[in-house]
Amino acid sequence: MSTSSDSSPSSSKVKIIIVGAGVCGLLTAIHLERAGMDYVVIEKARTLSPLGSALSLTSAASYIFDQLGILDELAAASNPCAKIDYLRDDLSKVGIMDSGDNRGRYGYSSLLITRPTFYQILLSKVPKEKIHFGKRMIALKQDEHSVEIECQDNLDSSQDDDPNASDTIVTFKGDILIGADGAYSAVRRSLYDDMQAKGLTVPKEDLAHLRFDSNCVIGVTDVLTEEEYPVLKEKNGDFFVLIGKERAIQVYLFAFAENRLGWQICGQMDKPEEVDEKDFRFRDWTPVAADELCDMVRHFKCPYGGTVGDLMDRTPKERLSKVRLEDKYFSTWYHQRTVLMGDACHKHLPFGGQGANQAILDSVHLANQLYGIPSNSLKDVTTSFKTYYGNRSPSAKDVFKSTSLVASILSKRGFVSEVVRWLSLSHMPDFFNNMAMDAMNADRPYLCFLPPPSGKGSIKPKPQVVPVHYKGGPIAPSVTAV
């Protein structure tokens, strides 16, 4: 059966379809809502129940949440995070990554929040009727005039990755398609197929197989008492990374505002796996048995008291998930009426805590470049996408490279690697550390169509380029012209 559904009319003449209601998709919906633009969100899951443990939001992310007026709500559900302690698995010290002065330097502290809480807050800001759950995008068609997607409909949560899950098809037609559908993006795959079918070259690296080299198990405990774990009294989001001596394995430990503890084990696989995306069936954040990885670290001492195994024993099965990890940067982000953002175009390893934060920056940049778009012509759409890519991709690529570097510093074995960790985590001069942090926090964009955020810091953000279709509104005076 095939039905058809256009996105609903609004003040803007340009109809936007967002695929994916993750960090990027939900935030983009919030931005477009504020800009008075016409959009719908298509999400394959029936309901959003992101498992997983922590997200650490950077100052740049807080800057935008402040502008949107939701920072207080996020801060109330978070703990401020000023440092990461790196320890060996016997709790001896390796070093510290200190971001204690983020507030002074960039205007906001980093915030540690559980993923489900973060998603629920974003979700609550998007009008219900704008999100179509249980629809899995499977194909796209685009030309000079419009873009159309086909989705399998009536999925239930257990079917959302099964290609034969449903034979009910629904189509959505619009002027712009935003692929915010995560690391295994169907939009990206269809976009690259579409380009190749039209005789265009997609770079070899963009078509290369996914290469998984780490496994990750994530858990969040039940609510615990402050008597059992006194760290919960501190309301402090500083976290620990335990670095395995014998194996390339790290355990991350977090204390959340809601009196739960979080743990995350990342272990390098003995043999990396290469998978062709076309054959790839991904079960993101699905609770599955992860006993093998857990057994390797159960005995590690836990800096909050007891062992890591004690936390595992207090973690209910539905708050446990296992994922395979890979990183990949794609250089093709748009063609014709389709554009990518977030993990769909740059999948980071979790070691630098950057994936969601980079997705947030993509969303702000793209919303600015779409704001004021004068028509739905391919020329105007291309101008928006080209400017978004030009402004955003260089810094996304730099952060991608630094995250890969952090990952390799943490996971390499042997004497030389110990020395590198010792130097980079405990003997890095402050000025060098600050220089790296300043570079990372220089891009603090804000929405050109809302009053600028209030947050100040001694390190000013990089001047914001005037968006390409911008025709006036509450933009700050410090911006530069294109």
Q: Which is nearer to ligand FAD, 444 or 469 (CB)?
A: 444
Q: By CB under 6 A, is residue 44 in contact with ligand FAD?
A: yes
Contacting residue, 42, 243, 265, 373, with ligand FAD by CB under 6 A: 42
Q: Which is nearer to ligand FAD, 439 or 466 (CB)?
A: 439
Q: By CB under 6 A, is residue 134 in contact with ligand FAD?
A: no
Contacting residue, 244, 355, 455, 461, with ligand FAD by CB under 6 A: 355
Contact 180, 283 (CB under 8 A): no
Radius of gyration of the chain (CA): 22
The minimum distance between CB 268 and ligand FAD, in angstroms, equals 14
Return d(Cα 310, Cα 302) in angstroms, integer: 9
Return d(Cα 447, Cα 361) in angstroms, integer: 11
Report helix, strand or coil for 46: coil
Q: Pull the structure tokens for residue 405.
A: 């570097």
Q: By CB under 6 A, is residue 179 in contact with ligand FAD?
A: no
Contacting residue, 16, 17, 40, 56, with ligand FAD by CB under 6 A: 56
Q: Pull the structure tokens for residue 25.
A: 């998709």
Contacting residue, 80, 107, 237, 353, with ligand FAD by CB under 6 A: 353
Which stretch in 93-101, 163-171, 192-200, 340-348 sits in contact with ligand FAD by CB under 6 A?
340-348
Other residues' Cβ atoms within 10 Å of the Cβ of residue 360: 25
Contact 18, 25 (CB under 8 A): yes
Other residues' Cβ atoms within 10 Å of the Cβ of residue 283: 12
Q: Which is nearer to ligand FAD, 218 or 308 (CB)?
A: 218
Residues 198-257 close enough to bind ligand FAD by CB under 6 A: 216, 218
Q: By CB under 6 A, is residue 153 in contact with ligand FAD?
A: no
Contacting residue, 17, 19, 64, 140, with ligand FAD by CB under 6 A: 19
The minimum distance between CB 303 and ligand FAD, in angstroms, equals 19
Q: Which is nearer to ligand FAD, 362 or 380 (CB)?
A: 362
Return d(Cα 240, Cα 233) in angstroms, integer: 17
Return d(Cα 204, Cα 230) in angstroms, integer: 52
Which stretch in 271-279, 294-302, 355-363, 462-470 sits in contact with ligand FAD by CB under 6 A?
355-363
Q: By CB under 6 A, is residue 136 in contact with ligand FAD?
A: yes
Angle of CA points 98, 100, 104, to nearest 5°: 135
Q: By CB under 6 A, is residue 364 in contact with ligand FAD?
A: no
Contact 317, 51 (CB under 8 A): no
Contact 312, 219 (CB under 8 A): yes
Q: Which is nearer to ligand FAD, 43 or 89 (CB)?
A: 43
Contact 53, 264 (CB under 8 A): yes
Q: By CB under 6 A, is residue 40 in contact with ligand FAD?
A: no
Return d(Cα 324, Cα 306) in angstroms, integer: 28
Q: Pull the structure tokens for residue 458.
A: 């001694």
Q: Which is nearer to ligand FAD, 56 or 384 (CB)?
A: 56
Q: Pull the structure tokens for residue 401.
A: 């490279």
Q: By CB under 6 A, is residue 181 in contact with ligand FAD?
A: yes
Report how many residues bind ligand FAD under the rule CB under 6 A. Answer: 35
The minimum distance between CB 57 and ligand FAD, in angstroms, equals 7
The minimum distance between CB 451 and ligand FAD, in angstroms, equals 26
Q: By CB under 6 A, is residue 323 in contact with ligand FAD?
A: yes
Contacts of residue 86, Cβ cutoff 8 Å, sequence gap at least 6: 93, 94, 95, 96, 97, 240, 241, 243, 421, 425
Q: Which is nearer to ligand FAD, 103 or 189 (CB)?
A: 189
270 sits in which H/E element:
strand 261-275
Could you list the residues that contact ligand FAD (CB under 6 A)?
19-25, 42-45, 52, 54-56, 136-137, 180-182, 186, 216, 218, 264, 323, 342-344, 350, 353-357, 359
